[in-house]
Each structure stands twice: as structure tokens, then as C-alpha cells.
Structure 1
Amino acid sequence: MWFRILAISCATILSFGCNRISHDKAGLEPPDIEVDIPGVKENRSLRQIEMSIGGEEVTLEVVVDREERRQGLMYRDSLAPNAGMLFIFPSNLYGPFWMKNTYIPLSIAFISSDSVIVGIIDRMEPLDTVTKYMPDAPYRYAVEMNAGWFKNHGVEVGDTLEIPSVP
């Protein structure tokens, strides 16, 4: 007998609880919150420099520290026609670039410590996490622009690119 009363009481309480939860949630809008994704810095403020590449004035965001370089142009929906990013490394290296979480196709020029372009990749495909992009020679700097930018402006391997000092 007690078992039957206990079972009916539990069923009644559970049914009220479920109905109330369903009813309460039916009219609610999701909260307006910002989601913080680890490693992603939206609207980050980076240094910018103006310089000439292939006779064109360009504006480059400058990334110097490891975390800035790691993120690069990830999570961007667009890039202005004469805008890009300058990667500055502490010393020469052979390391590759990839397109993880990068939504726009890019070109990249690799520049040696003596300001000579040692490699250009005309098109890196968005979101490609398999292909690793790197030149055949060590480099100290890299410049990413919209896909085809270097080719469209006559910039070639062997050209000199003066890297301005960065504050």
C-alpha cells in the first residue's frame, strides 16, 4: 500500500515538474551572451604599418609575438584589397603556414632576413588543414594578402621588399 502511494506521489511530482519546465522554457528567448572561444581574439588591436609592395601602397597588420602569429588571419570574413598581414619572426626559419580556421583565400610571400622574397604561394585554399605552405629557403618575414595579389601586382621571387621598423 505504501509503495503504491509513494509511486503515485512521485509520478505526480515528476509530471508537474516536467510540465512546468516545458511551459517555462517555451516562451523564453536564448540569452544574449558572448561566447569566448579559447585562443580566438575577436576585434584584437594590432599594430599597422604602411609600406610599398610592387609599387602599391598597402596597409599591413603586424604580428610579432607567438600568439599573434598563431592566429594570423584566422576567423576573418574579408580582407580589404590592399590590406594584409606581416608576420615577423625572431630568426630565420623553415616552418610552414596552413589555413586552419581561415575563411578567405590568401597569397603569401616569404621574405629572407636580407629583404629578398624567397618564395610566393599565389593561392592558399580556405580551411585547408592538410596542405602545409612553405618556401624552399629560410625566411624571417611573411606577408599574407588576398589570393592572387602578388601575381596581379607583378611581385616575384627575387624582388626586394624593405620591411620598415615596427614600433
Structure 2
Amino acid sequence: MAIATAPLAACSDEESRLVIHTATGEHVFEVEVVDTQETRAQGLMFVQELGPDEGMLFDFLDERPVSFWMRNTFIPLDMIFVGADGIVRNVHVNAVPHDPTSIPSDGPVQFVLEIPGGRSVEIGLEAGDRLEHARIEAD
């Protein structure tokens, strides 16, 4: 995956695979996981391109309200806010590059998945859909 401009923690093969289950089927993404304050703060800032099935999974290690912004981010992104159970709580489509406006979760979440802007619409992603990943506890 060629999304980072600076080295971030390498993901195992198991952690790089994420599946989104929607009404339109299963959609497989290759993700980079970030789970420290430093790597979450860097996120996808300064990244110039992201493949259609690539993304970044932010793991906050427990559920809490979170918010993001697009400062120093050069590409539009969809932000998918996900509970510890893997259920999508809310989706923000096409966050605008360089926009400092806060984009909050609609309540506590453990994960945020960032994928290319508009991709969530293409795959039919909606609140209530489910993510499958090595870090997500399945019920």
C-alpha cells in the first residue's frame, strides 16, 4: 500500500485486510492501522493519493466521542465512524481537503475508517452496516 509519506507502523497481513459488509455485498480494503496518539494525529495528512480499496483504520483502543478535521489533507475522504462491535454508527462523505471544520462522531466509537472520498456511496455503505477486521470483536 502506498498511502503514507512517512513511515508508520507496519501492519501484519491479518491487520491490513478489512471487509465492509453492506447490502451490496462484501467489500475488501487494504488498510494501515494507526493506534497511537502520534500516528492518529498524522493520519492521512500530506498523502497525495489513495487507491479505491485502500484506507486507514484509526483505533482509539476504547469507545469515546471523537472528531476529525482535514487540515493538511490533500485528498477528499469518507470518514466511517465505527463502534467496538464493528457496527457503523455514522458516515461523513467527501470531507473537503484542507477544511479545518470539525467532523464529529455521533457518539462514542472505537474506530474510524478513512477511505477515498465518495467510495462509501459507491459500495452502498450505511449506518448499521458492519466492518470485519482483526481488531474488531465480533458478537
Is TM (by shorter chain) over 0.5? yes
Divergent runs of 4+, >3 A: none
Deviation at 1:98, TM superposition (A): 0.3
Output the amino acid matched with 2:44: L
1:52 aligns with 2:16: no
- Normalized per residue, which structure has more strand? 2
Matched residue pairs, number? 125
Larger RCO (CA within 8 A; separation ≥ 6) = 2
Distance 1:116 1:56 in 2: 15
Distance 2:106 2:30 in 1: 27
Taking only the aligned residue pairs, the percentage that are identical comes to 32
Structure 2 runs not aligned, ≥5 long: none
Tell me which structure has the larger Cα radius of gyration.
1
Distance 2:121 2:5 in 1: 30
Distance 1:57 1:145 in 2: 12
RMSD: 1.6
Moved more, 51-60 or 83-92: 51-60
User: Could you state the TM-score of these two structures normalised by the residue count of structure 2?
Assistant: 0.83
Match of residue 132, structure 1, among 102, 121, 138: 102
User: Could you state the TM-score of these two structures normalised by the residue count of structure 1?
Assistant: 0.70
Structure 1 runs not aligned, ≥5 long: 1-40
> 1:28-84 CA distances to partner (integer Å, 9 max, x unpaired)?
xxxxxxxxxxxxx94314333112224122100110111000000000111111100
